[in-house]
A and B are shown apart, each in its own frame.
Chain A
Amino acid sequence: MSDPQTRLERELIQSARRGDLHAFNRLVESYQDMAYHTAYRILNDPEAAADATQEAFISAYRHLNEFRDGSFKAWLLRIVTNACYDILRARQRHPSESIDDLLGADEEREPPDFIDHREGPEERAVRAELNRFLQEGIAALPDDQRVVLVLADVQGLSYEEIASATRTNLGTVKSRLNRARLRLRDWLLERQELLPERYRLDSGPL
């Protein structure tokens, strides 16, 4: 379990199950950044990510009774993943639109709103650069590999939680994650010069 529930969270879940919308919305507030971030990494499109996030929370509200003990974050990410897959499947049915969207929007897109604002404008620019670099690398992965990689390396879910979230088995998760990481690594290494210097791989002794 990647995220043991706090007592407050358990209480909020209990209240929300009894129909307390206010309690549910407090859960939404504490998880919406995480949910949106996940959808954004998987879908690489702010609007689609917002749609998936909203869908996921509506679905979570509807199915709250099905949540069993364990990590609420993992349960929620399973629903987010599902909402993302709905959008990915729709893209596959209408590929032309999505490719236009992706290619057109990518370059001029505003950098997303990062959570950590401590740094100054310079730091922020470096982060935005790193973000765009990683985002592009993730987007280059096949859907199934990208989903597993985001859940594992961005959200830190366990293999078991990922298997549940993606409705596959452990073996599939392991092999997808391995392939996704190798592939992403190759992509990153090929474009080292695009990375801010501090993030580049030391070419020192291995």
Chain B
Amino acid sequence: MSNLEHVTDQLSLFLDGRLNRREQARLEEHLRACVDCRRQLATLRYSVSLMKQAPPIRAPRSFTLSDEQAARALPRWQPGWLYQSLRGLTAFAAVMFLVVFSADILSTSRFGVSAPSSAQTAPATSAPFNAVPAPQAAEDNQSKSVATTAAAAAPVAPAGPSTRAVAQPTAPASAPPALPATSGVAKPTTVAGTAESVQPTTAPVVGGPAAAVSPQPTATAIPIATPAPSVEPASAPTPEARVRLGELPWRAVEVGLLGVVVLSVGGLLALRIYRA
């Protein structure tokens, strides 16, 4: 009686119990007064219950997925942006490393004694080898790269004292660590270049700082750096050798770049394994 408007719009919600208490009270009040809406509700309730009796139907066949369908369902993996940018990063860091490294070698060999030609050939031969960003080559390279950084990274700490030792030639004790520092970085070039041509390269690098400290440590150097013969000529300390104080940033940059190469190659491998 209180509301004359019919409640057709709310009958469905009422059947589902989705009216709030106030709406429900109003609707019930209306139903008591309105035959028309009562009839609407009864027929609607009938129709809904009939619908709920719709006989369930069996699937006409099995819809299980075959191996083939399952394989097609999962999109074939395309190298994603992460993979692509890692590849780019690897190539970039490798090229930068070679640039820095050869600049390092070249500046060293200027006051070095040995053939500058070998110093140039070493990075030159290794260039195409390292710079290939293709995952295949990266994989082949990886074990070597790891070895390289292991060798290069370890000596970073000793490199500090060794350069200080250059400034204070009276401390021969700290000299020996300088040998692995230099030879450690130089060695990897042997991997790329021919063994013979690289040996001289190793020698001046080894000889340079070691000789700068004092002639005595070179004796200790011999067992570590096997290409002993060429150490002798390097042992002429020149004022120029103190320029090698700038060695530390060179090393840091080289090690850093190598680290980036190794990490990104590792990332590429991890991505491939994860997706395989």
| Chain A residues engaging chain B, CB cutoff 8 angstroms | 21, 24-25, 28-29, 32-37, 40-41, 46, 50, 53-54, 57-59, 61-62, 112-116, 127, 130-131, 134-135, 138, 149, 153-154, 156, 159, 174-175, 177-178, 181-182, 184-185, 188-189, 199, 201, 206
Say if the beta carbon of B58 comes within 8 Å of chain A. Answer: yes
Inter-chain contacts of B64 with A (CB < 8 A): 25, 28-29, 32, 57
The 16 sampled A-B contact pairs (Cβ below 8 Å) are A25-B64, A36-B58, A37-B56, A37-B59, A53-B59, A57-B64, A61-B70, A61-B74, A114-B56, A130-B55, A154-B51, A174-B13, A185-B47, A201-B43, A201-B46, A206-B38
Report Cα–Cα, A114/B35, bound state, in Å.
39
Inter-chain contacts of A36 with B (CB < 8 A): 57-60, 63
Q: Is the interface of A mostly helix, strand, loop or mixed?
A: helix
B54 and A188 within 8 A (CB): no
| Chain B residues engaging chain A, CB cutoff 8 angstroms | 8-13, 16, 18, 35, 38-39, 42-44, 46-48, 50-65, 67, 69-70, 72-75
Query: How far in angstroms is the closest Cβ of chain A from B18?
Result: 7
Report Cα–Cα, A29/B8, bound state, in Å.
41
B55 and A181 within 8 A (CB): no
B56 and A58 within 8 A (CB): no
Inter-chain contacts of B73 with A (CB < 8 A): 58-59, 61-62
16 new A-B pairs (CB below 8 Å) besides A28-B62, A41-B54, A130-B55?
A: A50-B59, A50-B60, A112-B57, A112-B58, A114-B56, A131-B57, A134-B54, A154-B51, A154-B54, A178-B10, A181-B12, A182-B11, A184-B51, A185-B46, A185-B47, A189-B43
Inter-chain contacts of A189 with B (CB < 8 A): 43, 47
Inter-chain contacts of B18 with A (CB < 8 A): 159, 174
Report Cα–Cα, A114/B60, bound state, in Å.
10
B57 and A33 within 8 A (CB): yes
Report Cα–Cα, A194/B12, bound state, in Å.
25
Report Cα–Cα, A17/B58, bound state, in Å.
27
Q: Is the interface of B mostly helix, strand, loop or mixed?
A: helix
Query: How far in angstroms is the closest Cβ of chain A from B239?
Result: 67
Report Cα–Cα, A11/B56, bound state, in Å.
27
Query: How far in angstroms is the closest Cβ of chain A from B58?
Result: 4
B12 and A127 within 8 A (CB): no
Inter-chain contacts of B70 with A (CB < 8 A): 21, 24, 61
Report Cα–Cα, A177/B47, bound state, in Å.
13
Residue of A nearest to B69 (CB): A58
Query: How far in angstroms is the closest Cβ of chain A from B6?
Result: 12
A24 and B65 within 8 A (CB): yes
A153 and B42 within 8 A (CB): no
Inter-chain contacts of A54 with B (CB < 8 A): 63
Residue of A nearest to B72 (CB): A58
A182 and B8 within 8 A (CB): yes
Report Cα–Cα, A37/B73, bound state, in Å.
23
Inter-chain contacts of A29 with B (CB < 8 A): 62, 64
B12 and A37 within 8 A (CB): no
A149 and B58 within 8 A (CB): no
